[in-house]
Amino acid sequence: MIIIPNTPYKTDSRTEYRVFDKLRESFVNDPMYLAFHSMNLTTHAKKRFGEADFVILCEYGLFVLEVKGGRISSSDGQWYTINRNNEKFRLKESPFRQAEGALHAINTKIKGSHKFPGLTLPIGFGVIFPDVEWRKQSSEWDIRTICDAKKFRNFEGWLRKFFEYWHSKQGNARKLTKEDITALKQYLRPDFEVVEPLHVRLSQIEDIAVKLTEDQYKYLDIVAANSRVLCSGGAGTGKTFLAAELARRMASEDKNIALVCKSNWLKRYLETRIQNEFVTISTIGSVKLDMRRSGIDIYDVLIVDEGQDLFDFDDIEILDEIVEGGLENGEWYIFHDVNNQAGLFIDTKEEVLELLESYTPAKIPLFTNCRNSKPILKKVQDSLDLDMGNIGTGIGPKVHELFEVENNGNILKTEIDNMLKGGVFPGSITILSSLCYEESSIGLLPEKIKRNIVKLDDYSVRSFPVPQISFAEIKNFKGLENEVIIVVDLVKPDDIKDNNKVEHYVAMSRARALLSVIWSK
């Protein structure tokens, strides 16, 4: 399904982001299915201004989806949502009436345009409750128009039945042709050219990155066909994506799975993306405690992300004790980048890797870089002489390579200002430094800018990216990424005497679309 825009509009609803991702995973690469996020309603019958969460246009017709996260309650006809903090919010109207009103507003607008004479447009509406299981029956709704938590797992399957249900209610209405869909799309959210600001170029790269990530699914079948795997690849080749997706897949087999990493930040980030009763996400320091708290004696499957951070004998001994059969005979999958990222947390022991290899795992190398644009990929490889895979996510803005002459913060300030003026969403920008926040170049910025920069920690990273510009130390940002990365407080690689370029590699490789490096004296 093609989503317009291809990155979600800024919204306070985390649930809408989840639905956005589900739509993106449905009807992949099928041009007959379009989705519009956050569509304005200029002709609503009851409101001066309205908005539809998601509008779907496909061969079955035009459909509006209203999204409501959290728990839902209704009393005497008044509807409420209840969030995780048990805070109760009153809704102005029923979610079903809200969806239906938005649908008729859009349909009225289309009919009033007189651009589609003779077109019978099948229409329908539905409501998505991804956090609850819906069992209530009522004359006010049809259960086939509701997607609850259970149906949300197989979202594409629910959508198919939903489309067919509404289309069947239209009598003998024909399906829309590709030409119909193209014309309606151009009317609902037209394409036109004024200028191409920076943020547009970045979003195009993001779209290509999503498609390349989908290509990584082919590796899952290879990985899952083996009981022990060492999967290696440079930054941006999809290791974390594969580790998370492998955990989801194996959880469906009712196996108890441990997904282990070194960084508490990466653990928190993964927890928001994998919510399954059979998957325990732990750091190596807490895995045994987490296992006891979950009442698990031994894990059926072990998955390790950023494995190079655990290649010492103390950590390997812990891993050996928590998986059925141990590392020699158990089922495990370790994703690592030992050639490039080793040494940031620990001094990686080559003997540990040799020990793991003695257990005859399948060795799977990843070569396709599905994170970085070509200019970023080339800059990192040329500057650091390191392999980060091939292809990249397409042509993008050239890398901004700047040099700090005086320690006054002016270069960093100008770079931030130019990005924001180019329409880049603040949450798409992360500043990375080898120093802590208080000692970094952030301290040289004007207070007006600093107030809009969030210092990331293991709590805020759970909802990353955050709405504001973010800051992190390089060592904590392993396994994470953002659309735009500004690297500060590092000297140029050529000036490093001990040739230790791990921080340079980790920092520069986090950027998906635009990399800016301000080299320090």
**What are the start-end ranges of the H helices in 360-456?**
374-384, 410-421, 447-450
**Token pair recorded at residue 194:** 């004024």
For the segment 13-54, what is each residue's pLDDT rounded down to a tens digit?
788 888 999 998 999 878 889 998 888 775 544 544 468 889
Average pLDDT for residues 376-392, to the nearest whole number? 76
Angle at 194 between CA 206 and CA 513, to 5 degrees: 20
Asked if the model's pLDDT at residue 412 lies above 80, the reply is yes
Average pLDDT for residues 118-130, to the nearest whole number? 90
- Burial of 71: CB neighbours in 10 Å, binned 0-12, 13-18, 19+: middle
Least confident of 53-62, 110-119, 342-351: 342-351
pLDDT at residue number 256: 93
Least confident of 42-56, 191-205, 379-393, 483-497: 191-205
**Token pair recorded at residue 475:** 């060592």
User: Please, are residues 111 and 120 in contact by the beta-carbon 8 Å criterion?
Assistant: no
What is the rounded CA–CA span in Å between residue 482 and residue 472? 12
**Token pair recorded at residue 113:** 């345009």
What is the rounded CA–CA span in Å between residue 458 and residue 65? 33
Sequence letter at residue 363 = K
E strand or H helix at 128:
strand 123-128
pLDDT at residue number 330: 95
What are the residues whose beta carbons fall under 8 Å from the beta carbon of 430, sequence distance 6 or more?
Answer: 456, 465, 469, 470, 471, 472, 477, 482, 484, 485, 486, 510
For the segment 168-222, what is each residue's pLDDT rounded down to a tens digit?
888 777 889 999 998 999 888 775 444 445 655 555 555 555 555 555 667 777 7
**Token pair recorded at residue 268:** 């928190």
What is the rounded CA–CA span in Å between residue 446 and residue 444? 7
Asked if the model's pLDDT at residue 456 lies above 90, the reply is yes
**36 secondary structure, DSSP code:** E
What is the rounded CA–CA span in Å between residue 505 and residue 368? 17
pTM: 0.56
Angle at 407 between CA 405 and CA 411, to 5 degrees: 65
pLDDT at residue number 357: 93
What are the residues whose beta carbons fall under 8 Å from the beta carbon of 334, sequence distance 6 or more?
Answer: 229, 230, 231, 303, 304, 307, 356, 361
pLDDT at residue number 450: 93
Give me the percent of the chain exceeding a pLDDT of 70.
Answer: 88
Asked if the model's pLDDT at residue 391 lies above 70, the reply is no
Please give the span between the terminal C-alpha atoms of the chain, in angstroms, as a whole number: 48
For the segment 139-172, what is each residue's pLDDT rounded down to a tens digit?
888 899 999 999 999 999 999 999 999 988 887 7
Asked if the model's pLDDT at residue 361 lies above 60, the reply is yes
What is the rounded CA–CA span in Å between residue 74 and residue 307? 48
Asked if the model's pLDDT at residue 495 lies above 80, the reply is no
How far, rounded to the nearest angstrom, does the alpha carbon of residue 393 sit from its chain's CA centroid?
A: 16
User: Please, are residues 377 and 245 in contact by the beta-carbon 8 Å criterion?
Assistant: no
For the segment 301-322, what is each residue's pLDDT rounded down to a tens digit?
999 999 988 988 999 999 999 9
pLDDT at residue number 120: 85
User: Please, are residues 453 and 426 in contact by the beta-carbon 8 Å criterion?
Assistant: no
What is the rounded CA–CA span in Å between residue 403 and residue 423? 24
Count other Cβ atoms within 10 Å, centred on residue 180.
17
Least confident of 125-134, 187-196, 400-409, 485-494: 187-196
Closest C-alpha among 295, 298, 309, 209 to residue 258:
298
pLDDT at residue number 289: 94
pLDDT at residue number 195: 42
Structural domains of the chain in order of their starting residue, each with its CATH number: 2-188 (3.40.1350), 217-369 (3.40.50.300), 374-519 (3.40.50.300)
Least confident of 120-129, 215-224, 270-279: 215-224
What is the rounded CA–CA span in Å between residue 334 and residue 277? 21
